[in-house]
Amino acid sequence: MKRMNIRLWLLAAIAIPALLATGQPSTDTIPVPKNEFSIDLQFLGRGESRYGGMPSAPVEKEEEVEDVKVPKSNFLLSRTRLPINFKRDWLEARVTPQHSGVWGQAGKGGFNLHEAWVKMATHSGIFAQVGRVALNYDDERIIGSDDWAMASSSHDILRLGYEGHGHKAHIILAYNQNANVMETGGSYYVNGGQPYKTMQTAWYHYDLPRLPLGASLLFMNIGMQSELENNPDKTWFQHLAGTYVSFQPKHWKAEASYYNQFGKNEHGVKIQAWMASGKLTYIPSPKFNVIAGYDYLSGDKYFAVPTGDNIGMVHHDVIKGFSTVYGSHHKFYGAMDFFYVSAYHHGFTPGLQNAYIGGTYNPLKNLMLNASYHYLAIATDLSDMDKTLGHEIEFQAAYAISRDVNVSAGASFMWGGDTMERLKRSSTNNSLRWGYITLVVNPRIFTTKW
């Protein structure tokens, strides 16, 4: 009897797992999840302290410069985003509600949709994307999301393209309209959510397969609403064409760009402007690098005044001041953002020369230290003014507390000369200070597949 019980237990031990195995579907028949859905949380908080820079009130006369008070300010800013992402084979979509503002701001800050788009792509690399999109191209000098700014930037566009085999080709189309004009007819566009009325952009990038070399070509056609009183319905078109090249062998990275602007501005004044930049990075080890570079942006000798306006001011037929249009401006020309973020007095654009050198050191796995020096000067010759604007020194530190939490801090000091004081209209530009501390929390709070 005992032998029979043992045999029955052995038979059961062999048969039951076999029966269970035959009742389970094979791994070959388990369906692969086709849908992905996730929600992220992005919080950015930044405190800033500023001494000097721009005047606290407009200055109309040269002799009033000495009476301008030193602007001192301390403030806290924050931005919260909730990116909602969906992906299924050939279809992808994102919606990103955003709230940004200064702590204590009247109206509780600004709420908008930073991104809201759908994208359809084939397996061959052809895609179409439509909606509100944050654009970033090349080094972001001309087109970038400008993520340092709390509101950041995005564009209402249709984007068509191809990506594959080292080639990337994009075409971007935009047309903006005011709702009240749309109802009554016409195509008048001012004070809208986008800085332009129409925009067409073509971008091509190629990575050489046997060399660490990449090159891009960019062309933009930007339509601006006319600001001439005698022809308010006209659209003036300004154009930008240029290239960006990056070469990165083992311990070096060399970057260069050149862009030319032409066409006419919103006042119908002809544009002939250009810029060029070069940057060299030496990377002897993963913990240390040294950078050096130079930027040149062409400028004007006189204020850009349309014919018939402002009697007594010098008029000129050609604008030579280069516009950095829709780039991530904080990345370039000094962290204090005196140039191409804040304007000169009356929007005057004498151009800029920015020669800089710096380095980055990573003493610990999650710690980054950076220091740099900028020599800043105008690009054009102005009567009785020296070209030198000033000297800026910057220090930055960033520490990754965890995969989702980062903190960074920085301090900048600028010593401006007489030209800086006169163009910025503040007698305090010879001793400027600015500092910040930033907290970024960016976890994925929900994800699922089915």
Would the pLDDT of 429 be above 70? no
pTM of the model: 0.86
How many CA atoms, within 13 angstroms, populate the side-chain half-sphere of residue 59?
Answer: 21
**What's the rounded Cα separation, in Å, for the pair 117 and 135?**
12
Selection from 279, 400, 293 nearest residue 356 by Cα: 293
- List where CATH 2.40.160.100 sits in the chain: 92-317+324-332
The tens digit of pLDDT for each residue in 357-412 reads 999 999 999 999 999 999 999 999 887 788 999 999 999 999 999 999 999 999 99
Residue 312 reports pLDDT greater than 50: no
Question: 240-281: per-residue pLDDT in tens?
Answer: 999 999 999 989 999 999 999 999 988 888 999 999 999 999
92-317+324-332 CATH, one of 2.40.30.10, 2.60.120.10, 2.40.160.100, 1.20.1740.10 = 2.40.160.100
Q: How far apart are CA 252 and CA 290, in angstroms?
A: 10
Q: How far apart are CA 402 and CA 410, in angstroms?
A: 20
Mind giving me the DSSP string for 182-251? HHH-S----S-SSS-SEEEEEEEEEE-TTSSEEEEEEEEEEEEE---TT-TT-EEEEEEEEEEEEE--SS
Task: Please give the structure tokens belonging to residue 49.
Answer: 């302290």
Q: How far apart are the C-alpha atoms of 316 and 412, rounded to whole Å?
A: 37
pLDDT tier at 296, thresholds 50, 70, 90? very high
